Amino acid sequence: MKVSVEVPVFKHKYLEETIQSVLGQSFQDWHLYLLSDGASMKAQKVIRKWADHPKISVRFGENIGIGPSRGKLTAWSESEYILPLDDDDILFSDCIAEMTACMDKHKEAGLVRARRKFIDKKGKVLDEPCWFPFEERKLYCGMTCDLYNHSQPTLIRRSAYDKTEGWFGFQQYGGAGEDCDIFLKIEEVADIILLDRILYGYRLHRKRFSRELGSKSAYDMWRMLADVTIERRRLPLRRINDKPPFEYEQIDEG
């Protein structure tokens, strides 16, 4: 199997559409993993519906948060590549085909990031500007400045992932922060490649978890991730501002 599509499941409203978007991929060497992370009863009912499908595996668990759930999914799955997917989003039909082709072309890549479009509750594409830049990440003395420079869709090479500490999320924020964190970890062991193709539909609705967290939580997580990454990379730096793009100053170790 080439690609494991991994979905932590919390809600039911868009889950069927999410699953159908994987089934409709033009590239078919994939397996879909659905993990109930304390999902609603309606969501569990949807999951059970697909339990006997030969290309879908399902499991049920208590709520542990999105980051730890992604860790369980990746430990459970077996594939050359990992594609994280949220339970209210969709993959456009050529997503897996184009991302795997890009990854196969760039043997040095640990992660491929493509573009996404926002969609509404009915799946209609919205003409709304992206929240995050789509550009190469900026570094200062080995430390990432623009931690917010990340988003779906993301394809991760398992051999690169295995060189990291794996998925992480802040318990106080429902296990969130995992997407930014995995970019930081992967770029320490391999290259990040940008694929300039729109391949993912990110659904905007009022119960979206990222909206519930809000911008203050995002800034808190970015600050904490910056500080812990400086420590993990053993860099003689300190962060000197509170909002990304972060600035750093060198510390005199003498």
Omega within 30 of 0 (cis) for the link into 244: no
The Cα 91–Cα 173 span in angstroms is 26
- Is residue 82 scored above 80 in pLDDT? yes
Give me the pLDDT at residue 213, please.
67
User: For residue range 202-230, what is the model confidence (pLDDT) as tens digits?
Assistant: 999 877 666 666 789 999 999 999 999 99
Extents of the domains making up the chain? 3-246
* Phi, psi (deg, nearest 5) at residue 253: -80, -5
The three-state secondary structure class of 172 is helix
| Average pLDDT of every residue of the chain | 95
For residue 39, what are its two tokens?
């999902």
Give me the pLDDT at residue 210, please.
66
Residues of the chain with pLDDT > 90: what percent? 91
The predicted model scores a pTM of 0.95
User: For residue range 5-61, what is the model confidence (pLDDT) as tens digits?
Assistant: 999 999 999 999 999 999 999 999 999 999 999 999 999 999 999 999 999 999 999
Topology of the domain comprising 3-246: Spore Coat Polysaccharide Biosynthesis Protein SpsA; Chain A (3.90.550)
Q: Quick one: pLDDT band at residue 128, thresholds 50, 70, 90?
A: confident
- Is residue 254 scored above 90 in pLDDT? no
User: For residue range 86-124, what is the model confidence (pLDDT) as tens digits?
Assistant: 999 999 999 999 999 999 999 999 999 999 999 999 999
Q: Number of helices (H) and strands (E), helices first, in the chain?
A: 7, 12
Q: Which helix (H) or strand (E) holds 237?
A: strand 237-239
